[in-house]
Amino acid sequence: MTYADREMSTDAASPVELYEFRRGSSAWRYTSGPRDLVYNSFSYSAVLLKRGSIEQTSEIGRSGLRITLARDVEVVGHFIAAPPSEVTLLTVYRQHRTDSETAVVWMGRVLNVEWRESEVELNCEPVYTSLQRTGLRRLYQRNCPHVLYSGSCQASPIVHRVQGSVGALSGSAISIAAAAAFPAGHFAGGFATWSANGITEKRMITAHTSDSITLSTAPPGLNVGALVVLYPGCDHTLNTCDGKFSNSVNFGGFPFIPTKNPFGGSPIY
């Protein structure tokens, strides 16, 4: 029997699902079956796992998927302190026992996790949400609306980045000697990157004073002596854009907006 025949059968169906989580070069594979399975030369470990229904609706772009795992499963351990910097992708395969034909039934990414005593529930969104869609339009405002280092901003992250080794580490605060050469707040609003277990981690910098860098959350996989790359932040004003990045030609704000609104109803403008 083919996969389609067994899928529609009322008595011959014997479904087993395979869950492949991927982030960067790392992968975690599990199956809902009672024993480990091998598919495409990869081993899928049998774990206690359950999921919500996969809905087929006209609003398929909004149809998410919730997966429940035991909290000691390896893949969810990376979400304990904070979500990983890189996107965790999920592909769900479905096959039937004694049948070699396998179909992909769901693809998407993990958005966040919810810890519930001995279980963890993963909230996932489908791959269709990554398709381009209409967002907020540009506003008439004094400060620049561009994302720093984006294509609209065009400030070079390579030119302005600073590399240094971790001298000390305490919670979300790290000490980088190279940062002391810049004025206080130079890196605030920017971000720091480093490599941990083959994955590039990224965290926002919330404060900078001398050689002290405070990150938004505790840095996973970071140790004393590790190399960290710091990228300065921007307050999106014209003065900072020009003085700090020499990028005023790409400034996207309107700094000379009149302080008085001509449409405010006052007879005197």
**pLDDT tens, position by position, 144-157:** 999 999 999 999 99
Same domain, 184 and 225: yes
Q: Distance (Å, rounded) from C-alpha 214 to C-alpha 208?
A: 6
Q: Is 125 in the same domain as 166? A: no
pLDDT tens figures, 48-86: 888 887 766 555 555 688 999 998 898 888 888 777 878
**pLDDT given for residue 137 in this prediction:** 67
Q: What is the pLDDT of residue 125?
A: 87
In terms of phi and psi (left: phi > 0; alpha: psi -120 to 50; beta: otherwise), the region of 4 is alpha
Q: 70 vs 11, which has greater pLDDT? A: 70
* Domain assignment of residue 112, given as a range: 3-129
Q: Half-sphere exposure (CA, 13 Å, Cβ side) for 110? A: 28
Give residue 209's pLDDT.
Answer: 95
Domain boundary among 78, 106, 129: 129
Q: Which residues pair with 166 in a beta bridge?
A: 176
Statement: residue 44 has pLDDT above 90: yes
Identify whether residues 20 and 125 lie together within a single domain. yes
Cβ contact 64:112 at 8 Å = no
Query: Would you say residue 145 lies in a domain?
Result: no
Q: How high is the pLDDT of residue 85?
A: 79
* Secondary structure (3-state) at 263: coil
Q: How many other C-beta atoms can be found within 10 angstroms of the C-beta atom of residue 217?
A: 13
The Cβ-side half-sphere exposure at 269, using a 13 Å CA radius, reads 6
Kindly state the average pLDDT of the residues 162-175: 94
State whether 14 and 110 are in the same domain. yes
| Segments in the chain forming alpha helices (H) | 3-8, 157-160, 238-243
Per-residue pLDDT for 161 more than 90?
A: yes
242 inside domain:
no
CA–CA distance, 95 with 116 (Å, rounded to integer) = 30
150 in a structural domain: no
State the pLDDT at residue 105.
Answer: 85
Provide the pLDDT confidence category of residue 221 given band limits of 50, 70 and 90. confident
CATH number for the domain including 19? Answer: 2.30.110
Domains contained in the chain, number: 2
The proportion of the chain whose per-residue pLDDT surpasses 70, expressed as a percent, equals 87
Q: In DSSP terms, which residues pair with 216 in a beta bridge?
A: none
Distances 13 to 3, 4, 97, 253 between C-alpha atoms, Å: 9, 10, 8, 61
Residue 127: pLDDT above 60? yes
